[in-house]
Every structure is written in structure tokens, then in C-alpha cells.
Amino acid sequence: MNNFGRVNPMAIPHDSNETSYLLPSNSEDWEGHGIPDFVYGQKDLVLQGIQWPRIAPSLPDGLPLSRFDSALCSAWRQRMELGLFRYRLGELQTQTLPGAVGFVAQLNVERGVQRRRPQNIRSVKQAFDPKQFNFNKIRPGEVLFRLRREPDLPGALPQEDVLVMINVSPLEWGHMLLVPEPSRGLPQRLLPSALRAGVEAVLLSSHPGFRIGFNSLGGLASVNHLHLHGYYLSHRLPVEGAPSEALDPEGHLHLLQGLPAPGFLYYASRPGPDLEALIGRVCRATDYLSDHEIAHNLFVTRGTPPGKTSPSSALMGVRVILWARKSSFGIKEGEAFNVALCELAGHLPVKTSQDFSSLTEAAALALIQDCLLPPAEAGEVQAALVALTAQEQQ
């Protein structure tokens, strides 16, 4: 398969006037290497023409890259060449599981073995602990660049500086972290400014398979320091076009229908007031979940408008999907995969060759559904989020 990013992102020409996002390859001490800024404005957001190629799941070599994709992929690849990751990510063995869902399973043995052990977390509302590992303790070379918004982009709140860092245990090509103002020591609780940065990162990419996600504490976040994940996956996922049912008269909140798991769907077609309203709704929902000690996962992807329409190859806006789930602290070693943001969306990073070769759709669904809230509690959460949406409209 022609995985995007392995096509040779280093061959992409760069504007000679742009800041370089690469480290000096012969430097042993990067402390003096300042963090470059990736400054973006309205003109950098890719709002139209995003769709999957006719022949799926591979992406053509000629797929155009945005300025953001070029900066991210070239800097990320350089860090891989410099050995800053825990393992060298090769092309991952990938399969689409037979069945109605369309799970995309990938064998990633190294991540299962070599990723950092999760912190000792016992509460969705746990405070930040500076003595534990956090993103102020990483090596300087792990930072790729800083995201900076231009004033022409809407946003009621001042946008914090967001650092883009490599995930040293990558699950796929370009796996990075968005970390807002790490020096502030923010706990892993979603903030509007962080979500806006995540949604805008998706809009900065011209790749249909660039996604952003968030795991709460208890939702398999392994570090209690505010961060979002981002990565490329050259495959469509079920949640991009899955049908949904409106839960409020204005259509601001939908319930995703079908599999792999029911989730709350929010949608915006472009930046502006609708997107700002979406960010507020989502963060009010995650605040409610956090305050009530309910773990959750969130996934941001390009997708089709909500409703009962059939899936389309054209990805006309941004879907934000929120799942409330049972709390799970730590990693369950005996399972084929652990259920967090990408698994709920239909992407299954599998830990062992045996599990990869034997995994079925039914087995995957059983693992996912075992992590969901019982029906009565799920109903209570749905009623609460509907009420929050109604309050907004009063």
C-alpha cells in the first residue's frame, strides 16, 4: 500500500522564505535550537475538495500536500531518522476485517511492547502532578514546531500557543501530540482552546485521513498533562459517514447510529460562528462528563454532514464524535487491543501477530462494547447532554 508520508515527504519543495522545521543533523545539543513557529491563517485552511481517491484504501503518489502536511511530515521523518522514537516505524501490516463495520486493523507489535507505562491514575478529575512524567520533561528535539494563529481566524478566546511534538511510541505515520502551553501544567481535561487547535489542525491538512483525538483520564490517557493526538491513516473509517439521529430540534447534537459504538456527533462545515458554537458545545459536554467522573474519548475527522444519508467520498466538513465510556485505568495486557479514541472510531492497532491473524469483527465488537456504559447510565448521559444543548438555545 502507498502510505501517505512514506511517498517521500522530504522531496517536497519548500518555500525558501519559510522557517525550517528541521533540526541540525550533526548537533549533539539541541537546547539552543529554538522552537520554530508555524503561523497559519484563513488562507491555510483547506475547506473544499477533500475526498478519498476512487481506488481505496491506497492514496496516490500525486496527492497534493498542504503547507502544514509538508512541515509536519518532513520534521517528523527527520526525527525518525535521528532515532528520537522508541522504535523505527516500518510499513504496518494492515487489513480491513470482513463484516459490516469495516474495521481497519493494523499490527503494531513495537507500540504494544515499548510504549511508556501509564501513570497511576484513579480519577477522571485527577490533578496534575509535576513529579510524574509530563511534557516539560521531554528532549528538546521531540518538539517539531509551535502552532500560531493569525488574527484573521475567528475565536472568542485568546488562542494559546500549542506545541506540536512527536509521540515517541507512534501508532502510525506522523503520530504527534498537540500540547497547549505545557509550562502551565494543565491536567488532561479538554479546554476550548485545545479543541479549536485540534479541529484547525484537521482543516490545515489536505489529507482525508489526518485525524485528531483526545482520551480523558480513565479513557486510557496515559499521561495526565493536557494533550491531543494526531496521526495519518490512509484508510476510510466507519465514523466518517455513519448515519445519525438528531437529538435536538436544531440538529446541533446527533447520536451516531450503528457500529462500532454509538457516540455523540457534532458537525461544522467551515470555520466561523458554527465551528465556535460546536467547540463550546463539545467542551460543555466533556466538562459535564469530567465533573461526573465519566471517562470519555473524542475523535475529530473530516466527514459527511449528519443524518441518514448514504456515505459519500466527499468529506464536506468536520465531524467531532464524543463517546462516554466505562473508566479503565492502566493497560490490559491480555487483550488484542485497548479501547480508546482510535478503536472507537474503527481503527484497531493490534499488539501481537497471533491476535492480528485471528481477529474477527465479532471479537472486536465484543471488546469495544465491554468498555461502553450500561444502557441505563448511557441514557442518563444522553438526557444530560440534550438538556445542555437545550439550555444553550434558550
CATH code where residue 290 lies: 3.30.428.70
Report the alpha-carbon distance of residue 112 to residue 349 in Å, rounded.
Answer: 9
Q: And the C-alpha cell for 90?
A: 516500518
Chain center to CA of 42: 22
Cβ-proximal residues to 218 (8 Å cutoff; 6+ apart), any chain: 121, 123, 124, 293, 295, 327, 328, 329
What is the strand order of the sheet 264-268 is part of? Answer: 37-40, 143-149, 162-166, 176-180, 228-232, 210-215, 295-303, 317-325, 264-268, 254-256, 244-246
- Is residue 354 one of the residues assigned to a domain? yes
- Is residue 159 one of the residues assigned to a domain? yes
- Is residue 23 one of the residues assigned to a domain? no
* Domains contained in the chain, number: 1
- Is residue 1 one of the residues assigned to a domain? no
Which among 207, 225, 227, 252 is annotated as catalytic?
227
Residue pLDDT, tens place only, 225-284: 999 999 999 999 999 999 999 999 999 999 998 889 999 999 999 889 999 999 999 999
- Is residue 218 one of the residues assigned to a domain? yes
Strands 37-40 and 143-149: parallel
For the beta carbon of residue 52, count every other beta carbon within 10 angstroms: 19
pTM: 0.92
Report the alpha-carbon distance of residue 268 to residue 252 in Å, rounded.
Answer: 9
Q: For residues 296 and 320, is the Cβ–Cβ distance under 8 A?
A: no
- Is residue 101 one of the residues assigned to a domain? yes
- Is residue 5 one of the residues assigned to a domain? no
The residue count for the chain: 394
Please state at what angle helix 192-204 crosses helix 67-81, rounded to 10 degrees. Answer: 100
Q: What is the pLDDT along the chain (394 residues), one digit of tens a residue?
A: 334 434 333 333 344 345 678 887 655 555 556 899 999 999 999 998 898 887 654 443 446 789 999 999 999 999 999 999 999 998 899 999 999 999 999 999 988 676 667 778 899 999 999 999 999 999 999 999 999 998 878 765 566 789 999 999 999 999 999 999 999 999 999 999 999 999 999 999 999 999 999 999 999 999 999 999 999 999 999 999 999 999 999 999 999 988 899 999 999 998 899 999 999 999 999 999 999 999 999 999 999 999 866 556 679 899 999 999 999 886 666 688 999 999 999 999 999 999 999 999 999 999 999 999 999 999 999 999 999 999 987 6
Residue pLDDT, tens place only, 89-98: 988 999 999 9
In 108-186 the beta strands, taken as DSSP E runs, fall at 143-149, 162-166, 176-180
Range of the domain at 150: 38-393
- Is residue 114 one of the residues assigned to a domain? yes
Q: Any catalytic annotation for residue 235?
A: no
